């Protein structure tokens, strides 16, 4: 049981390049999230999904796209990377479904992205 895994762990891009970050979970969770973490800002939600085939915007969606074609995978895409997207990206999943008052988010180990 690997939990939540993220690929890659590190990446350096040049401005304008594109890339996709992959998140996979093996817990059969309905909800998946992509966050970015910057110093002094905590975690900010980029996009999230409440089930296979669904996606929704979070607090800071501009410059990113996502897809949830399979329940276990949630992809985050950067079409044209900018230096402002230099950050640590975390994926998380939770059981979700009906309103659950006690529902833990499980986080992946993060992807450190630098855009030059």
Partner 1 sequence: TQLLEQSPQFLSIQEGENLTVYCNSSSVFSSLQWYRQEPGEGPVLLVTVVTGGEVKKLKRLTFQFGDARKDSSLHITAAQPGDTGLYLCAGERWDTGNQFYFGTGTSLTVIP
Binding flag, residue 101, partner 1 (CB under 8 A): yes
Which of 81, 108, 113, 115 is close enough to bind partner 1 by CB under 8 A? 108
Angstrom distance (rounded) from CA 80 to CA 17: 5
Which of 18, 27, 53, 104 is close enough to bind partner 1 by CB under 8 A? 104
Show contacts with partner 1 in window 41-100 (CB under 8 A): 41-45, 48, 50, 56, 58-59, 90, 92, 96, 99
- Using CB under 8 A as the binding criterion, the count of chain residues that bind partner 1 stands at 28
Burial class (CB in 10 A: 0-12, 13-18, 19+), 83: exposed
* Residue (of 11, 42, 35, 38) closest to 92 by Cα position: 35
Query: Are the CB atoms for 48 and 68 separated by under 8 Å?
Result: no
* Residue (of 41, 45, 74) closest to 57 by Cα position: 45
Nearer to partner 1, 16 or 41 (CB): 41
Minimum Å distance from CB 43 to partner 1?
Answer: 4
Binding flag, residue 107, partner 1 (CB under 8 A): yes
Compute how many other C-beta atoms are within 10 angstroms of the C-beta atom of residue 114.
Answer: 13
List of residues contacting partner 1 (CB under 8 A): 4, 31, 33, 35, 40-45, 48, 50, 56, 58-59, 90, 92, 96, 99, 101-105, 107-110
């Amino acid at each position: 049981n690997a939990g939540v895994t993220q690929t890659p762990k590190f990446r350096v891009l040049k401005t304008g390049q594109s890339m996709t970050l992959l998140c996979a979970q093996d817990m059969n969770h309905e909800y998946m999230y992509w966050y970015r973490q910057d110093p002094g800002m905590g975690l900010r939600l980029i996009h999230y999904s409440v089930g296979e085939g669904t996606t929704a915007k979070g607090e800071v969606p501009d410059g990113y796209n996502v897809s949830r074609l399979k329940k276990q995978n949630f992809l985050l895409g950067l079409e044209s990377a900018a230096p402002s997207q230099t950050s640590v990206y975390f994926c998380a999943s939770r059981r979700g479904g009906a309103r659950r008052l006690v529902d833990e988010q499980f986080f992946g180990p993060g992807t450190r992205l630098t855009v030059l």
